[in-house]
Amino acid sequence: MTRKVHFILQGKGGVGKSFVAALLAQHYQANGRGAVVCVDTDPVNATFSGYEAFHTRRVELLDNGTVDSGRFDGLMMSIVSEDADFIVDNGASCFIPLTKYLFESNALAVIGSTGREVVFHSVLTGGYGLRDTVAGFDWLAENMPVETQIVVWLNEFFGPIEVEGKGFDQMKVYQRGTATASRRCSGCRSRTSRRSAAISRPCSING
């Protein structure tokens, strides 16, 4: 069985990242999907750590707004050495520093070299946070390596996720990603091929 490392990432706070992490953890526990390690790196709101049933590990990755290499290396050592899947919940303040560190370092390649699969989870929300969360997803999809995946979660608690009557699957940010995925599957190598090789159908969160 291929081990997976789930990173929940979004630059907007209060949109349901920890809720998504909790759903994933409950899925593992309820369906007997094997060992799972839960990690909370949010330096401000350690919501995921508050769920005692998950035995979440607290890791302070940031030091004055930048990723502390020693702490990050400790997390990486756990990911590549332990026989378990990982769910890593990250705060809004971690979004840019951590994603840049993941993309610019050799971290994702190291994880992949151990036979593990990296999955990014991006939460989009309606209402006041719509444009910010769409922009966060767009940045993630634009910069992520081609071998990783994005799972998009649609949180409509604050309102519908639509712009000018268009739902997420009709938005340009989604269509750009899926169109690139189709071109890559047929063998094309274009400048935009850094977009996701597999952007999953959105998962709805009904509040």
- The tally of domains found in the chain comes to 1
Which pLDDT band, with edges at 50, 70 and 90, does 100 fall under? very high
What's 191's domain CATH number? 3.40.50
Rounded-to-integer distance, Cα 75 and Cα 7, Å:
12
pLDDT at 169: 86
Kindly report which listed range (90-94, 106-110, 165-169) carries the lowest average pLDDT score: 165-169
pLDDT at 200 over 60: no
Average pLDDT over residues 115-142: 93
pLDDT at 34: 76
Which pLDDT band, with edges at 50, 70 and 90, does 174 fall under? confident
Whole-model pTM? 0.86
pLDDT at 144: 82
Quote the mean pLDDT of the chain: 85
Average pLDDT over residues 151-180: 84
pLDDT at 177: 59
pLDDT at 75: 97
CB-based contact 164:129 (threshold 8 Å): no
Class of residue 188 by CB neighbours under 10 A (exposed 0-12, middle 13-18, buried 19+): exposed
Which pLDDT band, with edges at 50, 70 and 90, does 175 fall under? confident
- Phi then psi dihedrals of residue 193, to 5 deg: -70, 0
Query: What is the DSSP secondary-structure string of the chain?
Result: ---EEEEE--SSTTSSHHHHHHHHHHHHHHHT---EEEEE--SS--TGGG-GGGTPEE---EETTEE-HHHHHHHHHHHHHSSSEEEEE--GGGHHHHHHHHHHSSHHHHHHHTT-EEEEEEEEESGGGHHHHHHHHHHHHHHS-TT-EEEEEEE-TTS--EETTEEGGGSHHHHHHHHHHHHHHTT---GGGGS-S-BPPPEEE--
pLDDT at 32 over 90: no
196 HSE (CA, 13 A, CB side): 25
- Residues 45-95 have pLDDT tens digits of 889 999 999 999 999 999 999 999 999 999 999 999 999 999 999 999 999
Rounded-to-integer distance, Cα 92 and Cα 9, Å:
8
Domain coverage including residue 28? 4-205
